[in-house]
Structure 1
Amino acid sequence: MDTGCTPCPCSALSGPAFVDCGQPEDIDSGAIMYLTGPEKTTYGAAIQYQCAAPFYTMRANSSGKYICSDDGFWKNTRGEITLPVCEPVCGMQRTGAVERIYGGRRANPGQFPWQVMLITEHGELGGGSLLYDSWVLTAAHVVAEQRNPSTLKIKLGILNKYSVHYEEVQAERIFIHEGYRNDLVNFDNDIALIKLEHKVPMSTTISPICLPGKEERFQMKADDIVTVSGWGRTETRSSSVVLLYTELMIINQKECTDAYANKSHNGNPLVVTENMLCAGVEEGGRDACHGDSGGPLVLLDVQTRKWFVIGVVSWALDCAVAGQYGVYTRVTSYIPWIESIITNNS
């Protein structure tokens, strides 16, 4: 008997038109833009993730565009549900042009936003460099005696030592290179990483330094111009109240090895290895000094217009003496070590 009813198109009710992917997940340091209408989350809807510029950028492997698919999941252009990641932009100075710590100049706010101040449990001052948003690169000898990571004071975004305006962060773990001897004579492998408890928010005064790649231009050559920064001793022999920086030249490796060839400390010969690089000026007068230990030696890369850390302040016999150069841990020798520590502990 014909009731006048038309069979209901059940397939339409269960089809893609009734799929709702729900609110897309938020990402750290990013925002969501709805491309197909306000808050539209049903099948076919498109969204665009954006990172908080200028401090964050999307990791290279993602366009940030996601579409609500027929199985109820937001998927990217490759059909994956993995969320995009916003990474801090590295190596950017947030200040005016750089003018062309012995012989040092005062740093401006945002000029060295990767500079970290460390104060150990013994009250000793050191430096470090922010990597990404939750790691600090420093020298092993700065943190070798630090028994408890949580008592290490870590300050970022600070220029004046006595300022109350800075970001203080907590260390979760300290990783000292397994090849470091801690005998105060052989400073080979003088490198360490500090994992921070929480991600640091980026700003005009806090952002990371870039790590160098394998390219030839990051293999330092004699006379390359580099910059060192820190609060170490000044001409007056006292530690500086403000962050200072100075430009130095990379010294030929053989010249540096020869300069230290017959030098000793407490009767033990000082060794310059291939894992070290030297910087200074032949006439003396400009150098990194005690208290800058662990701080960054950086290079402005002309290709990317970004700053890269190529050295970690390690040791010297005297400060700013003609023919005696500052010795730095050569960062390019340790990129595999740095990357494996960070990857395995993030």
Structure 2
Amino acid sequence: MKWSLAFCLLAVSTAAGAVITRADVDDAKYRASASAFPALVDMPGEGHGVLIAPQWVVTAAHAAPMQGMEDEVAIGGVARKIKRVITYPGYKKLPNQLVTEALASGDLSKISAFLASSNDIALIELASPVTDVTPISLYRGNKELGMAVELVGKGATGNGTKGQDAHSAHRTVLRRAFNVIVGDDARYVWYRFDPPPSALPLEGITGSGDSGGPLLVGDGSSRQLVGLASWSKYPPDHPFWKTWAPDRPFVEGLYGEVVYAVRVSSYIPWIQGVMSASAER
């Protein structure tokens, strides 16, 4: 099975998805004001998280600040000091060797197995509570399949016909798009980038630069966090594989790509346990 090599490379080095849009819809319709989602957290350089409690941010583990990076994140345009980062027990970073082998052979099966079995989630405890931004509630049910969801991000962009612009910056303006969850398992929910005419009016997916960004259900103050942008793939029967070879540039973000988001509902006991233990210290 072939998986998104573009994501694999990003996962090794840094955070990976910005909003990639329909080719037949004006990009301006996807753009949102900076105040549209104040609980969005900007990681150092690129990548996102979500404020879920006054002193807590949840993100994808591979997008979380690592030792040697800046010790601040931005929420509502304001820098916030980090107290500590807690990754899910057993989380492992994608080994460089797997990527090297995939680049040489074009066989991404080992990477696909690694990512599918990864618990890609982390919590960030802030040095002090955030009092000027309202946290987002967590979705606590188990009925994600079939949900219409909203995704937001500030990373690189492109469209479903040409794919993601390889030269686009990974920190741009805020965009939002919509999609429908078509699958789930214990770790992930996933959605597909459908082309018109079957696509939603503002159909989109995440691309490069916004791992850890939110997948949301509801609107306004009733929004709940369902998922966190994590990784993507082209299905094995996708037309892209008929022409691609390891020595050719990989194009991410074409119609038919499937994006996986961490299934937040599966990790609520862990999230609650970490926050409760911190409060008792």
TM bucket (normalised to shorter chain) is 0.5 to 0.7
User: 1:249 aligned to 2:180?
Assistant: yes
Residue 287 of structure 1, aligned match among 192, 205, 209: 205
Unaligned runs of 5+ in 1: 1-100, 158-165, 254-272
What's the C-alpha RMSD, in Å, of the aligned pairs?
2.2
Residue in structure 2 matched with residue 19 of structure 1 by the alignment: none
Separation in 1, partners of 2:181, 2:154:
21
Bigger Rg, structure 1 or 2: 1
Helix, strand or coil at the partner of 2:270: helix
Separation in 1, partners of 2:254, 2:182:
14
**Shift in Å at residue 281 of structure 1?**
2.9
Aligned partner of 2:37: which letter?
F
TM-score (norm 1): 0.55
Residue in structure 2 matched with residue 82 of structure 1 by the alignment: none
Separation in 1, partners of 2:221, 2:79:
29
**Shift in Å at residue 153 of structure 1?**
3.1
Separation in 2, partners of 1:332, 1:128:
16
Residue in structure 2 matched with residue 312 of structure 1 by the alignment: 228
Aligned partner of 2:228: which letter?
V
**Shift in Å at residue 282 of structure 1?**
2.4
Tell me which protein shows more helix as a share of its residues: 2
Within 5 Å, give how 1:1-346 maps onto structure 2: 101-103=19-21, 105-119=30-44, 124-143=45-64, 146-148=66-68, 151-157=70-76, 166-183=77-94, 185=111, 186-187=114-115, 188-202=118-132, 206-213=133-140, 215=141, 218-222=142-146, 224-235=147-158, 236-237=165-166, 238-239=168-169, 240-253=171-184, 274-283=186-195, 286-300=204-218, 306-317=222-233, 319-346=252-279
Residue in structure 1 matched with residue 100 of structure 2 by the alignment: none
**Shift in Å at residue 250 of structure 1?**
0.7
**Does 1 or 2 have the higher relative contact order (CA < 8 Å, sep 6+)?**
2
Separation in 2, partners of 1:280, 1:308:
21
Residues 300, 319 of structure 1: alpha-carbon distance in 2 compared, 3 angstrom cutoff: farther
Residue in structure 1 matched with residue 13 of structure 2 by the alignment: none
Separation in 2, partners of 1:338, 1:219:
20
- Identical columns (%): 28
Aligned partner of 2:152: which letter?
S
Large movers: runs of 4+ above 4 Å: none
Aligned partner of 1:132: which letter?
A
Helix, strand or coil at the partner of 1:233: coil
**Shift in Å at residue 148 of structure 1?**
4.8
TM-score (norm 2): 0.67
Deviations 1:34-71 (A, max 9, x none): xxxxxxxxxxxxxxxxxxxxxxxxxxxxxxxxxxxxxx
Unaligned runs of 5+ in 2: 1-18, 22-26, 96-110, 159-164, 234-250
Aligned residues: 204
Residue in structure 1 matched with residue 243 of structure 2 by the alignment: none
Contact 1:288 1:319 in 2 (8 A): no
Deviations 1:255-306 (A, max 9, x none): xxxxxxxxxxxxxxxxxx53111023322872101111011111107xx961
Contact 1:231 1:244 in 2 (8 A): yes
